[in-house]
Amino acid sequence: MTDCPDPLLLHGLVDGELDAANAVALEAHLRTCTACAEELGRIEALRARLAGTALRHRPPPGLAGRIERALAGAAGRPVRRAAPPRAPWFAGGALGAVAAALALLVAAPQLTSTGLEDALVADHVRSLLAAHVVDVATSDRHVVKPWFNGRIDFAPPVPELAAQGFPLVGGRLDYLDGKVVAAIVYKRRLHTLNLFVRPAPALASPVAFTARRQGYSLARWTGGGLEYWAVSDVATEDLAAFRKAFTEAVRQP
């Protein structure tokens, strides 16, 4: 059981997200490991169930009215239907559009962050399992930074942080959320730290945070029009220290 791969790779296999080398290796493992084969079966069964129509239910007639009466009763007042708006149509439409946009802004990070964090952890794990941590292996930022030129359409900063306890290992290209991104690799003692860098999405939140997912630590922040995600199996305190060291080094002339 200790030789079994990360469970996230099983999800990647079902979703067709693994590269050829990892897919072949995982399929060979599944032929000899009953536990992983059973887990794969559960994942496929759940996916099939969620894709079916049996989980889709229409609300019964009169549900909206019952909810309104229940709310009115809780507030101790009679139910009163809202009168038609007196304002011009375009004013009401504009207000509705603004309200909808604000609702999407609030809800979007909650709806997408979990899936993105899973994808980041999976990319980190794949880089370690496939022994493809770097495309260019060097501790010299003057080699790593220009290596990205022409390979991606943005220029990620590549500070050297050995003095702060995070020596630079190199860089590579990776794939995240349907696009090629930069992955800058550092070390924290014996631990590998992947820093994924991409242009900040439209309306990206400026809030920085750290989190734990599937036993891995993640730190996220933005700066200079870019979004940064650091992933490693170190403690969240170490990633917070890395983020502080990185941002301070980038601010220096």
Domain harbouring 148, CATH code: 3.30.200.100
- Asked whether the predicted pLDDT for residue 107 surpasses 70, the reply is no
Q: What is the number of domains present in the chain?
A: 2
pLDDT at 97 over 70: no
Q: What is the pLDDT of residue 47?
A: 75
Lowest mean pLDDT segment, chosen from 149-153, 165-169, 202-206: 202-206
DSSP-derived secondary structure for 21-73: HHHHHHHHHHTT-HHHHHHHHHHHHHHHHHHSSTT--PPPTTHHHHHHHHHHH
As a whole number of angstroms, the distance between CA 244 and CA 242 comes to 5
Residue whose entry in the numeric block shows the structure tokens 């750290």: 210
Give the whole-angstrom CA distance, residue 123 versus residue 218: 12
Residue 32 lies in a domain: yes
Co-location of 41 and 126 in the same domain: no
Task: Show the tokens assigned to 55.
Answer: 């989980």
Question: 167 pLDDT exceeds 90?
Answer: yes
Q: Kindly state whether residue 45 falls inside one of the protein's structural domains.
A: yes
- Domain range holding 194? 113-251
- Report the distance separating Cα 103 and Cα 232, nearest Å: 33
Determine the residue type at 188.
Answer: R
